[in-house]
């Protein structure tokens, strides 16, 4: 009942308005036409203006890939970069055959979860990455190199919890006897195209004390092979008498991602100089040697009460959050010259202070160590405070900008699947420079 009335009323109003307009004559129609014409011209002009402005101002991003991002961007890049497989073209068609050894040589050790997460776990990470890599070949006759997956750093001592590698030589020797009896690839090259990992203190010498390691030297059966080892020095040393590639110690990418995701990466770095780890007041060992060549002891005695230095001797599970708060992270030698702190400080944006004379650092072609770190001679450790204050007053911001490049962090971390530019990729890239050792390529070129 209500609706028809409304319709009738509206319709009457419409008719009256139409009649009124009709009675106003042609002048009224002409005015309405001009109004509509002007409205359309105005709409077209404004649309054209905004469209032209968009085309003029919306330029493609021309920032160079080498531009250094801010730290927050670098952190997000570390967390979010896509896990894409590396491109074979960039690795010169490299092909690697991975031996399928009995589980006693590798998989059985994983029953202890520390095996795949401690600082020596690059032997596990590289094995996993190669199994998932597109450089892997299942045809050994087309392989350039052969990877022998023997885990030697997963035998943890029940007394002190540290890796006990006294079994390493016999375990590797056993693996070599097995592959040389079942395949002909080892014998044809005397193992020169075979790859092993030695991720503990003195690498291919397989001993944790340097004097014993030097006395034993590299085992005879490995002297022609390629060793991926964390130990690297620039001077002559018995533990570098085999062909080798220096690799970084293992730091879990997941632990880094978690720290960056749960911490304020743009927070204030309120710690000037940071170190947490073993610092002996009386560093002489039962072997007669001094731990860290007394470097850490000097640091503790001289700077233990210095408010600029945050020095802690006890373990703390959340210490990576302390690195995020620090400007400088001290990386003094221990028994060996290298330290996992080198990797942790870089990936968490803290300037590494390297105190280890003659150290050969990993992947120098990808990581510009001299530009992102501070090197202090062991004899000058007593001047550490003055040296760091000078850096802070001069070129600290330059060092930090270069340090925050996410490509550098990527190069120092191992992943289960190889990402182009990551630590395993850097190993593969280094192997492309040793293709003269490839029996396969030599045979093909001769043919």
- Average of pLDDT values for 11-16? 39
pLDDT of 47 reads: 58
Percent of the chain whose predicted confidence (pLDDT) is above 70: 79
Percent of the chain whose predicted confidence (pLDDT) is above 90: 70
More confident residue, 367 or 23: 367
pLDDT class for 237, splitting at 50, 70, 90?
Answer: very high
For the chain, the structural domain boundaries read: 82-250+416-439, 253-411
pLDDT of 282 reads: 85
Q: What is the tens place of the pLDDT at every residue in 225-235?
A: 999 999 999 99
Q: What is the pTM of this model?
A: 0.81
More confident residue, 23 or 396: 396
More confident residue, 18 or 119: 119
pLDDT class for 88, splitting at 50, 70, 90?
Answer: low
Instruction: Give the CATH number of domain 253-411; options: 3.40.50.300, 3.40.50.2000, 3.30.9.90, 2.60.120.10.
Output: 3.40.50.2000
pLDDT class for 39, splitting at 50, 70, 90?
Answer: low
Handedness of CA 96, 347, 246, 210 (dihedral sign): negative
| pLDDT exceeds cutoff 50 at 299 | yes
Q: What is the tens place of the pLDDT at every residue in 55-85?
A: 444 433 332 332 333 344 444 445 455 444 4
């Amino acid at each position: 009942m209500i609706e028809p009335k409304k319709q009738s009323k509206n319709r009457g109003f419409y008719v009256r308005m139409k009649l009124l307009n009709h009675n106003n004559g042609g002048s009224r129609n002409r005015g309405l036409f001009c109004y509509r014409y002007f409205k359309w011209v105005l709409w077209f002009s404004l649309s054209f203006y905004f469209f032209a402005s968009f085309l003029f101002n919306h330029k493609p991003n021309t920032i160079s890939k080498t531009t250094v991002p801010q730290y927050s961007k670098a952190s997000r890049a570390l967390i979010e970069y896509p896990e894409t497989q590396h491109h074979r073209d960039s690795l010169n068609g490299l092909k690697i055959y991975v031996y399928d050894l009995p589980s006693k040589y590798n998989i059985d050790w994983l029953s202890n979860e520390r095996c795949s997460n401690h600082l020596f776990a690059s032997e596990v990470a590289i094995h996993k990455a190669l199994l998932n890599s597109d450089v892997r070949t299942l045809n050994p006759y087309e392989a350039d190199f052969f990877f022998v997956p023997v885990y030697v750093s997963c035998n943890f001592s029940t007394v002190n919890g540290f890796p006990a590698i006294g079994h390493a030589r016999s375990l590797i020797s056993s693996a070599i006897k097995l592959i040389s009896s079942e395949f002909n690839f080892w014998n044809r090259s005397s193992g020169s195209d075979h790859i092993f990992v030695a991720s503990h203190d003195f690498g291919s010498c397989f001993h944790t004390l340097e004097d014993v390691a030097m006395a034993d030297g590299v085992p005879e059966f490995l002297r022609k092979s390629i060793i991926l080892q964390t130990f690297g020095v620039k001077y002559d040393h018995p533990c570098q008498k085999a062909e080798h590639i220096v690799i970084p110690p293992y730091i879990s990418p997941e632990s880094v991602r978690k720290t960056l995701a749960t911490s304020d990466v743009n927070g204030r770095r309120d710690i000037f100089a940071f170190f947490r780890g073993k610092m002996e007041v009386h560093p002489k060992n039962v072997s007669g040697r001094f731990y860290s060549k007394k470097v850490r002891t000097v640091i503790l005695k001289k700077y233990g009460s210095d408010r600029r230095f945050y020095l802690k001797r006890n373990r703390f599970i959340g210490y990576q959050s302390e690195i995020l708060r620090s400007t400088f992270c001290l990386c003094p030698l221990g028994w060996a010259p290298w330290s996992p702190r080198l990797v942790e400080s870089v990936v968490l944006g803290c300037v590494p202070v390297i105190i280890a004379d003659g150290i050969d650092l990993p992947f120098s072609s990808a990581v510009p160590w001299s530009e992102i770190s501070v090197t202090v001679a062991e004899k000058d450790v007593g001047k550490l405070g003055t040296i760091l204050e000078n850096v802070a007053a001069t070129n600290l911001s330059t060092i930090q900008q270069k340090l925050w490049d996410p490509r550098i962090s990527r190069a120092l971390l191992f992943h289960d699947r190889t990402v182009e530019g990551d630590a395993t990729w850097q190993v593969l890239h280094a192997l492309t420079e040793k293709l003269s050792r490839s029996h396969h390529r030599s045979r093909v070129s001769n043919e």
